[in-house]
Amino acid sequence: MHYQNERNFGCRVSDAWTYRGLKTAVLENEWLRIVILIDKGADIYQFVHKPSDVDFLWRSPWGVRDPSKFVQTSGGATEMWLDQYEGGWQTVLPGGGFPSTHGGVELGLHAEVNTVPWDAVIVEDTPERVSIRCSVRTARTPFYYEKTHTLIAGSSVLHTDETLVNEGRETQHAIWGQHIAIGEPFLNSDCVIDLPGGTLLSHPVEFHPDNRLKPGVTGEWPWGEDLNGNPIDMSRLPPRDSHIYDMSYVTDMPEGWYAVTNQKLGVGFGVSFPKDLYKYLWYWQSFGGSGYPWYGRTYNVGLEPFTSWDNMGLVQAVENGTALTLEAGQRITASHKAVAYTGSERVQRIAPDGEVSRVS
């Protein structure tokens, strides 16, 4: 049995943890603590800014469930995913959004890599820098995917390098996304969302009975339109007692980044991503919406870089021409950064290396 040489200083990484029965890895330095559920999609479950003790990621009302012990009462392709959805940050491949059947294969909600155990190996472990590589092969499609997370001493940036490979001998379609949900107590009406600009698209049809946004409207960020045609500043968050459940998308962004700042707490979370790959930023708004599965219990947003749109599954993305096409053996690589920062000023830019520039 291998025992890791442990440290209580500098950068640290360990995959020798178990949380609610799931193999778990922890990366940390003096700024960040990152918890990864290796046995459940290699999801990032915690993204904690240590100086302020703020965890930016949202948690579902039921939290983490061990899929090997939780017995579901039905096998619906949407409900099976939601039953195991703990919140946090998932990789979505190769079918994003609602279930669909493509190429004779049924893909469930956000299928298929984020409900299964992954392999993980620590690839670097020094006080100056730590890295862990997580990898998975899909079951119903011929994809291999890996992501390597890295923390560097003195930095509040999580670096992630990704590789997606079509190991089949046939051309394959895919949706690839980062399903990042941000929530309470960090998230409240003191928060503002900053983007570099872009085109805001509301969901093409009514998304939910608690829709606030008028379906099928196109505008310039941050301006949306409510059901009565009134303008809505989508960079501002509604109060906690709202009853809103909406979906929208931002595209044509001049750069790939976003930032969420709690101006009262003076702390924020941002992501920098390659916009040539992730051409759409999905903006999920769950502000106390009624009915299954939240029943008014949630206040969170999803700000999710995706290759494709909309949220109706792989078939829809293939039909509208936004799905990825990978030839046999094709490999795609990408990198993104997630950063915690302090200050109450709005964000002017997050550079590709994660550096945050503020509005002066």
Residue 191: predicted pLDDT: 98
User: How far is the C-alpha of 143 from the C-alpha of 113, rounded, in Å?
Assistant: 10
4 falls within a domain: no
Residue 68: predicted pLDDT: 85
User: Which amino acid, residue 119?
Assistant: D
Beta-bridge partner residues of 49: 32, 54
User: How far is the C-alpha of 213 from the C-alpha of 224, rounded, in Å?
Assistant: 7
Angle (CA) 251-36-353 rounded to 5° is: 45
Query: Are the C-beta atoms of 46 and 88 separated by less than 8 Å?
Result: yes
What stretches of 112-190 adopt beta strand conformation (E)? Answer: 119-126, 129-137, 143-152, 157-166, 172-174, 177-183
| Helix/strand/coil percent split, the chain, to 5 | 5, 50, 50
Residue 163: predicted pLDDT: 98
What are the distances in angstroms from CA 210 to CA 221, 235, 287? 22, 19, 10
Instruction: Kindly state the tokens that stand for 336.
Output: 């993104």
Q: What is the pLDDT along the chain (360 residues), one digit of tens a residue?
A: 567 778 999 999 999 999 999 999 999 999 999 999 999 999 999 999 999 999 999 999 999 999 888 888 888 899 999 999 999 999 999 999 999 999 999 999 999 999 999 999 999 999 999 999 999 999 999 999 999 999 999 999 999 999 999 999 999 999 999 999 999 999 999 999 999 999 999 999 998 999 999 999 999 999 999 999 999 999 999 999 999 999 999 999 999 999 999 999 999 999 999 999 999 999 999 999 999 999 999 999 999 999 999 999 999 999 999 999 999 999 999 999 999 999 999 999 999 999 999 987
Q: Which residues contact 216 (CB under 8 A, 6 or more apart)?
A: 202, 203, 204, 205
Residue written as token pair 């929208």: 248
Residue 2: predicted pLDDT: 63
258 falls within a domain: yes
6 falls within a domain: no
Residue 74: predicted pLDDT: 87
User: How does 129-151 read in b/e, with b if 16+ C-beta sit within 10 Å?
Assistant: bbbbbbbbbbeebbbebbbbbbb
Beta-bridge partner residues of 262: 191, 267
User: Which amino acid, residue 116?
Assistant: V
CA 209 to chain centre: 25
Domain range for 319: 13-358
Q: How many CB atoms lie within 10 A of CB 195?
A: 22
48 falls within a domain: yes
User: Which amino acid, residue 53?
Assistant: D
CATH code for the domain of 93: 2.70.98.10
2 falls within a domain: no
Query: Are the C-beta atoms of 260 and 49 separated by less than 8 Å?
Result: no
Residue 72: predicted pLDDT: 87
Instruction: Kindly state the tokens that stand for 210.
Output: 């608690």
Residue 222: predicted pLDDT: 98
User: How far is the C-alpha of 273 from the C-alpha of 64, rounded, in Å?
Assistant: 27
pTM: 0.97
7 falls within a domain: no
17 falls within a domain: yes
225 falls within a domain: yes
For residue 18, the number of C-alpha atoms closer than 13 Å in the C-beta half-sphere is 4
How many folded domains does the chain comprise? 1
User: How far is the C-alpha of 88 from the C-alpha of 85, rounded, in Å?
Assistant: 9
- From the list 325, 336, 350, 199, the residue with the least C-alpha distance to 274 is 336
Residue 348's φ and ψ, nearest 5 degrees, are -90, -35
CA dihedral sign of residues 158, 334, 126, 14 = positive
